[in-house]
Structure 1
Amino acid sequence: MTIFETDENTYLYHYTKASTAINFILKNQNLQLGSMLNTNDPKECKNWTFELNTFRNSDFDKYDSDVISSKVDKSIKSSTYMICFTKDQPLSGDHMEDITRRGYGHSRMWAQYAENHSGVCLIFDKKLLEKFFIETFSSCTHFMQSMTYKDRFISERDLAYLINIDQLEKLGLENYTSLHAQRFKDRLFFEKLEDWKNENEYRFILQGYAEKNLLFPFKYALKGIVFGASCSDDTVQNIVKLTCERGIDYIQLKWKNCSPWYDFRKNFQVSNV
């Protein structure tokens, strides 16, 4: 079973509401990529402020830095789409100790992303998911990697937030911002403040894409479903009926005093009632 895995690099996890899982993800067997403009991190969804830079002594007086900064910000973010997962932390093999190290073992994430523990956490085979993502979006610029976490301060200057006016004029806005995003992807797309560290996030990103409704068919990469501790029996039955022929694992979490654990007594057979 997926819950007895000891290699922390095997799976990726995606928390979601039960209704989203039933009506969209599991029904259609795909995941929707979200726009960077709609993330819940102000570092990403709020406007970036870029400074102008030149290596040819260009006359800055002829440029409106606020306007150019806004255009570059919008060009990058409006063409960047992502799916966010979490990973296992290093596992010891002791499943009693490891449960809070598992991707589905984060109480705060259950509360925030899965309807206060009434939703589900989907378990995906990492290698298969990456393979299918590359196959689906082979013609697009795509990245797949872990997030890093670092606190930065307002006084810091960084090349990621400098606009090379010379190259912008030479390449045009769309081409310039695409190259800029690729060059500084780690800083722009894969870094958050330390406060987010416990999410242990892993992202799939498409960059330079104009499509508004991006769907990723995950095929047979789904390997398990974890039901939240407050997930209703009706919801569990609906999901099992929808997925029972796909050969995936089911488990529901329960709480004993201060710790989550597995409800091994839970019956996941389809009811005929």
Structure 2
Amino acid sequence: MWAQYGDLHRGLCLAFSRDDLVDDIKKTYNNFKLYRGDIRYKDSSTDVRKAYHININSDALINFRDFFITEHLIRYREDLFFTKNTDWKDEFEYRLLLLTDNKKSDYFIDIHNSLKAVFCGLDFPDVYMSSLRNLLEYSNVEIYRLVLSNGVPSVIKLK
């Protein structure tokens, strides 16, 4: 997955404590609905396709946003947000979904308690390493780097 999500091994992977992250989200946004769970991997089916079609009724026309969230997103959240094609089954993904009031352009989540480690890709630029170390200097966040030894990938601890 480094090729797709890690800028061809030049990027970083952040490792979180799932429970700590959920606690941080709940503390900050306890008035919003938080859904979480493992991703289900299955081939497309009629059930999943239904989630991508919205049936409009008279209630929906009065307040589309409320209708869309209460009627559609919540009813089909498993198919919309927690289901992926079996092509991705090797990801073993876990996902969080926070349904906000959409009154702000962004919602901040403080991750300093839940961030536990940073993994640098094989080609993470050395020029950025001192900045990364400075950024994490007063934290308990561990820094690791992916390396290849005779073509075998492994991880070494840097901090």
Q: Does 1:219 align with 2:92?
A: no
Return closer, same or farther for 1:178/1:246 CA change in 2, 3 Å cut-off: same
Partner of 2:70: 179
Q: Which amino acid aligns with 2:21?
A: L
Q: Does 1:263 align with 2:156?
A: yes
SS at match of 1:132: helix
Partner of 1:130: 22
Identify the match of residue 37 of structure 2 among 124, 142, 145: 145
**CA displacement 1:55-105 (0-9 Å, x = unmatched):** xxxxxxxxxxxxxxxxxxxxxxxxxxxxxxxxxxxxxxxxxxxxxxxxxxx
Point out where structure 2 has 5 or more consecutive residues left out of the alignment.
Answer: none
SS at match of 1:115: coil
Contact 1:178 1:208 in 2 (8 A): no
Q: CA deviation at 1:166?
A: 5.7
Within 5 Å, give how 1:21-32 maps onto structure 2: none
The one of the two structures with greater contact order (alpha-carbon pairs below 8 A, sep at least 6) is: 2
Q: Which of structure 1's runs of 4+ aligned residues deviate more than 6 A? A: none
Contact 1:227 1:236 in 2 (8 A): no
Q: Which amino acid aligns with 1:216?
A: I
| Counterpart Cα distance in 2 of 1:134 and 1:159 | 30
- RMSD across aligned C-alpha pairs, in angstroms? 2.2
| Counterpart Cα distance in 1 of 2:100 and 2:144 | 39
| Counterpart Cα distance in 1 of 2:50 and 2:5 | 33
Q: Does 1:244 align with 2:148?
A: no
Return closer, same or farther for 1:112/1:159 CA change in 2, 3 Å cut-off: closer
Report the number of matched residues. 155
SS at match of 1:230: coil
Q: CA deviation at 1:164?
A: 6.0
Return closer, same or farther for 1:159/1:152 CA change in 2, 3 Å cut-off: closer
Q: Which amino acid aligns with 2:65?
A: E
Identify the match of residue 124 of structure 2 among 231, 250, 257: 231
Q: CA deviation at 1:162?
A: 5.3
Point out where structure 1 has 5 or more consecutive residues left out of the alignment.
Answer: 1-108, 269-273
Within 5 Å, give how 1:85-234 maps onto structure 2: 109-153=1-45, 156=46, 160=51, 161=53, 163=55, 165=57, 167-168=59-60, 172-180=63-71, 181-210=73-102, 211-234=104-127
Task: Give percent identity, aligned residues only.
Answer: 24
Give the TM-score normalised by the residue count of structure 2.
0.83
